[in-house]
Amino acid sequence: MKKYSKVIIASMFFLQMVTCGYASELDQDLRPDVLVVMSYHESYPWCREIKMEIDRILSHSYQIHYFYMNTKNQYEQGEQKAKEAFALFLKIKPAGVITVDDNAQSMFVVPYLKDKVTTPVMFCGVNATPEKYGFPATNVSGILERSHITETIALAQQLVPTMTSVCFMGKKSPSILAIKEQVMGEHANYSANFIDFKMPTTRSDVLSMVEDLKGRCDMLFMETMEGINGVDGRPMEEKEITSLVATTFGKPLIGSNLYSVRHGALCAVVKTGQEQGVTAARMLLKAMMGSPVDQIPIEINKYGKRYINITVMKKMGIKPKPMLLQGTELIRTEK
């Protein structure tokens, strides 16, 4: 009798350890699997923000497998990477899938998972309209990504009231094409005149386009540029390309990501990867607990946080009113 009591107590202790996330690495392998397919690379700040929240929500109860398609630097290899992701899907047979950004949808979800498997799939970071990919589907829902462009322009004009025109730039990609579509659909409501939207693919494109734009607009809204080929053919990192654009443009850069401000943009009302990650993880958890995916509606990011780069502000001689700084986080350019 005592022997069985010890077994029961040990089993209860094991279950408690698994629930709390303290089980050994061997024990953790007993958890159900979740596959996360990222469009970009592991070190990309946006991917790290999303991963942080997925891990926080799911890692105690699920074994999470991350697959990075690296399409920001090697877009032409995306379809092969999608095949590899599907091979991993077949191998681990996950209880659920999260797919991040547009390339993972067009190259992976649509060809391999949408309406083809019963596994629930939640997307996040999608800039295109969901209809482009046939979402929602019987097994697919998620959260869209929309930049807080109107709010960022307004914040910049509060800092520099004389700015009346805005241009846009981002490395040509499916995500940037979707952002351009957003801009073209809403720019009539901006508080600054929309001038142009440029999509460079090389460093020389960037230089020639910025030279053109700096004589035509007061501020440049810069979306992601990482992966543009440099003089040696090497994909440039976001920090490097932002510094180049800021120096060449000579006027305020604005953006929609925290890393843009850290790398030298004046300000941004930031959409966060954290919001994308936590929402997608909670939606997937709901599906894996039994809720039909077609009853989990697609969401859109809601929250934005204001950031101002005080290094840039001081360099440009900008002296904001104290009330403008309330509720705004001040950061310096990263060295």
pLDDT recorded at residue 249: 97
pTM, rounded to two decimals: 0.82
DSSP string, 22-53: -S-HHHHTTSPEEEEEESS-TT-HHHHHHHHH
pLDDT recorded at residue 189: 96
Buried b / exposed e along 201-231 (16+ C-beta atoms within 10 A): eebebbeebbeebbeebbbbbbbbbbbbbbe
**Contact present, 214 and 185 (Cβ < 8 Å):** no
pLDDT recorded at residue 180: 96
Q: Cα 21 to the chain's mean position, in Å?
A: 27
Positions in the chain whose pLDDT score sits under 50: 1-15, 17-19, 23-24, 26
pLDDT recorded at residue 15: 43
pLDDT recorded at residue 27: 53
Residue-wise pLDDT tens digits, 306-325: 999 999 999 999 999 888 88
pLDDT recorded at residue 335: 84
Alpha carbon distance 240, 224 (integer Å) = 12
What is the total residue count of the chain? 335
pLDDT recorded at residue 230: 87
**Helix orientation angle between 203-213 and 238-249, rounded to the nearest 10 degrees:** 30
Residue-wise pLDDT tens digits, 63-114: 999 999 999 999 999 999 999 999 999 999 999 999 999 999 999 999 999 9
pLDDT recorded at residue 1: 40
Alpha carbon distance 139, 113 (integer Å) = 8
Largest CA distance in the chain: 87
Alpha carbon distance 166, 281 (integer Å) = 36
